[in-house]
Chains A and B, each alone.
Chain A
């Protein structure tokens, strides 16, 4: 522990204290290593458990749109598609809202309002996933099925170029509903990150812009956003990473169809929802269970990539 002793000139004065220091430092370091090993074991364990599926289907497992438990044909294509589509759609829905909220909380709201409103938005992140699932299924899905979707299908669904995205029966569930619920769930993460980085913009920058006669929006557009751009993208990626792996809420509303539907109102699958829904009916040692675990591994790789990017982008903020 060279760094420790460097900051502790008197630590070696007594043997007992130096012994205590060693034990404590070792315990801390062991705990740190434990976390490293934990993540490593998680990756390796999922990969090994999914290996039979990778062996049986090869690389095409990742792209194959087969998922037929009866014929024992499995592929990750449909659920990867569903995972990415719902997560990205959720981000598209959540980012404008999150931006609006962050802007409101940092620049517009009177000071007395900022804390309660900010807390309320953050509480959205604390509501358990399964509650979103029940709310989505018992409140949002009926509303979508009876009011929102029929109208969109009859209007936008008839348009030439984008119409195919909004066709089919108005089930109320499906990819779009899942994305909608996901959007609400990741909203607080993105909004909180944006608010935090907006607040870090040195006031002097903003004041000089105001001094030049800029409006609040112009200060935002011309000063705050350029200054915080990278971190904002990092916050969005954090939301994306969360959306990819969200399970329970999606499970209630996604519709679990093992096929790719071009319509956003159609049913689909995400990796996490497929695992949750199919796990109970998979026997140990079966190809189906191995395929589910292989899907778990793929999900981990996906979220790892997104979360690592997010962290990299948000880190540059810390170093500024």
Chain B
């Protein structure tokens, strides 16, 4: 018995430095959206080393995350689809955004270079509705003078698994196409009338890589690291923009954040340089926490992330929130929790 506990102690001592755990780490748990999972993991690593709060975040999907925070089985929930004011009040939840992400359209067309093809939101909606089926469709040709478009079937690819990525994508298509809103609507998984699904970003990108004439949507981070062929999009102001950092930031600053639950609409914002498909992701924090210390630690965690985590977010191709939004969120914390 003694020997065993000695061994256990020794192995614990050996393993501690490997895991970088500190003796007095405060634990917090969260569950939900998969879209921000990488940056939450990255922040968790940094926060643990900086102020000794250990976040255990489970990327279970937005639906399950909302469910877990309603049942209070975690300290906070995370969702890509914001709850409305009434839902928040009913469940005694405070909602705030943490970071934003952007989506890009990717294509596989012979002879088409990166950011060469110009598309519009309504066109994308018609493609995913199965109404525009060939790449040399007059509507696409008209947008792309001087580009030789092949007579090739369009093969749209979408996320097979329910995901925040799909939520943002169909939010955009529904915002720009009344018909898409009517026939498909907005959700983390929807019924696409055309195309095929593939699992995860890797699945969509792989399908687009494999199939000539394919089009898909992925997170910007993925398009960059995998050197996928992205396209230009026409934004709300009528300008064609390339998916770059400048365009994402422009979109974020053009949004109106002064709405209940910070549920700002960053989709298709009016700025002249705005990239049209940008979306924030949200945290749900109980206003009547079962454990006040843990709740305070959640706020300390995100306070640190707001103050110091922007560079990490940009490394993973997320878009930090404007500083004014950080301050507004902190004000909401003070109002909700008094500290």
A residues in contact (CB < 8 Å) with B: 67-71, 137-138, 141-142, 145-146, 169-174, 251-252, 254-259, 266-267, 277-278, 280-286
The 5 A-B pairs of least Cβ separation, nearest first, read A281-B162, A280-B61, A256-B160, A70-B185, A256-B197
B194 CB → nearest A CB, Å: 9
CA distance A70 to B67 in the complex (A): 18
Query: A267-B197, A277-B161 are known contacts. Are A282 and B192 too (CB-CB below 8 A)?
Result: no
B185 touches A281 (CB 8 A): no
Which of B60, B196, B206 has a CB less than 8 Å from the CB of A255?
Answer: B196
B189 touches A69 (CB 8 A): yes
Query: A174-B196, A256-B160 are known contacts. Are A280 and B213 too (CB-CB below 8 A)?
Result: no
Contacts of A266 in B (CB 8 A): 196
Query: A255-B196, A258-B191, A259-B193 are known contacts. Are A173 and B207 too (CB-CB below 8 A)?
Result: yes
Most chain A Cβ neighbours within 10 Å, of B63, B67, B187: B63
B191 touches A69 (CB 8 A): yes
Query: A172-B210, A251-B199 are known contacts. Are A69 and B187 too (CB-CB below 8 A)?
Result: yes
Assess whether B163 is interfacial by the CB under 8 Å rule: yes
A259 touches B67 (CB 8 A): no
B66 touches A283 (CB 8 A): yes
B203 touches A252 (CB 8 A): yes
CA distance A278 to B161 in the complex (A): 6
A257 touches B162 (CB 8 A): no
A172 touches B60 (CB 8 A): no
Number of interface residues of B (CB under 8 A): 40
A90 CB → nearest B CB, Å: 19
Contacts of A173 in B (CB 8 A): 196, 198, 207
B203 touches A137 (CB 8 A): yes
CA distance A288 to B322 in the complex (A): 36
B189 touches A137 (CB 8 A): no
Assess whether B155 is interfacial by the CB under 8 Å rule: yes
B198 touches A281 (CB 8 A): no
A281 touches B189 (CB 8 A): yes
Which of B62, B190, B211 has a CB less than 8 Å from the CB of A70?
Answer: B190
Q: Which residue of chain A has the shortest Cβ distance to B157 in the bound complex?
A: A171
Contacts of B157 in A (CB 8 A): 171
A257 touches B210 (CB 8 A): no
Q: Which residue of chain B has the shortest Cβ distance to A172 in the bound complex?
A: B210
B161 touches A286 (CB 8 A): no
B195 touches A172 (CB 8 A): no
Assess whether B46 is interfacial by the CB under 8 Å rule: no
CA distance A258 to B197 in the complex (A): 10
B198 touches A145 (CB 8 A): no
CA distance A169 to B192 in the complex (A): 16
B160 touches A138 (CB 8 A): no
Most chain A Cβ neighbours within 10 Å, of B60, B67, B191: B191
Contacts of B192 in A (CB 8 A): 257-258
Query: Mind listing 11 A-B residue pairs with CB under 8 Å?
Result: A146-B210, A169-B211, A173-B196, A252-B203, A254-B160, A254-B197, A255-B196, A259-B191, A278-B162, A281-B162, A283-B66
B235 CB → nearest A CB, Å: 25
Contacts of A254 in B (CB 8 A): 160, 197
In chain B, positions 138-188 with a C-beta closer than 8 Å to chain A are: 153-155, 157, 160-163, 184-188
B175 CB → nearest A CB, Å: 15
B187 touches A172 (CB 8 A): no
Which of A138, A145, A277 has a CB less than 8 Å from the CB of B211?
Answer: A145
B199 touches A277 (CB 8 A): yes
Most chain B Cβ neighbours within 10 Å, of A170, A281, A283: A281
B57 CB → nearest A CB, Å: 14
Most chain B Cβ neighbours within 10 Å, of A174, A251, A252, A283: A283
B11 CB → nearest A CB, Å: 29
Assess whether B254 is interfacial by the CB under 8 Å rule: no
A171 touches B162 (CB 8 A): no
B61 touches A257 (CB 8 A): no
A69 touches B214 (CB 8 A): no
Contacts of B62 in A (CB 8 A): 281
B222 CB → nearest A CB, Å: 16
Q: Which residue of chain A has the shortest Cβ distance to B185 in the bound complex?
A: A70
Assess whether B88 is interfacial by the CB under 8 Å rule: no
Q: Which residue of chain A has the shortest Cβ distance to B156 in the bound complex?
A: A169
Query: A169-B211, A171-B196, A280-B161 are known contacts. Are A141 and B206 too (CB-CB below 8 A)?
Result: yes
Query: A70-B184, A70-B191, A169-B211 are known contacts. Are A281 and B64 too (CB-CB below 8 A)?
Result: yes
Contacts of A172 in B (CB 8 A): 207, 210-211
User: 20 additional contacts, CB 8 Å, given A171-B155, A173-B198, A277-B199?
Assistant: A68-B185, A68-B191, A69-B162, A70-B190, A141-B207, A169-B214, A173-B207, A174-B196, A256-B196, A257-B192, A257-B196, A259-B191, A267-B196, A267-B197, A278-B161, A280-B63, A281-B189, A282-B63, A283-B63, A285-B67
B184 touches A255 (CB 8 A): no
Most chain A Cβ neighbours within 10 Å, of B66, B162, B193, B213: B162
Contacts of B60 in A (CB 8 A): 280
A171 touches B211 (CB 8 A): yes
Contacts of A255 in B (CB 8 A): 160, 196-198
